[in-house]
Amino acid sequence: MTCREFDADIVDLARAAAIGADAAERLRQHLEQCAGCTARLARERQLTAALKAMAAAEPPSARAAAIEAELRAAFDAQRAAVTRQPPAQRAGLGPQGRAWLAAAAVLVLAVAAWQAAARWPSSGETAAGIEPDPLRSARSPEARPEPAADGQVLRFVVLPTAVGLPALESGRIVRVELPTAELPAYGFDVTPQPASGAVEADVLVGQDGQPRAIRFVTVEADSRRPQ
Enclosing H/E stretch for 3: helix 3-14
The type of residue at 170 is: S
Q: Is 61 in the site for other proteins (CB under 8 A)?
A: yes
The type of residue at 26 is: R
Angstrom distance (rounded) from CA 128 to CA 146: 30
Options 21, 35, 54, 91; binder of other proteins; rule CB under 8 A: 54
| Minimal distance, residue 123 CB to other proteins, in Å | 32
Angstrom distance (rounded) from CA 208 to CA 202: 17
Which region holds residue 59: left if phi is over 0, alpha if psi is between -120 and 50, else beta?
A: beta
Options 2, 4, 17, 86; binder of other proteins; rule CB under 8 A: 17
Angstrom distance (rounded) from CA 86 to CA 95: 16
Q: Is 83 in the site for other proteins (CB under 8 A)?
A: yes
Options 21, 62, 88, 221; binder of other proteins; rule CB under 8 A: 62
Q: Is 85 in the site for other proteins (CB under 8 A)?
A: no
Among residues 32 and 169, whose Cβ is nearest to other proteins? 169
Return residues touching other proteins (CB under 8 A): 11-12, 15, 17, 43-44, 47-48, 50-55, 57-64, 67-68, 70-72, 74-76, 78-79, 82-83, 95, 141-142, 167-173
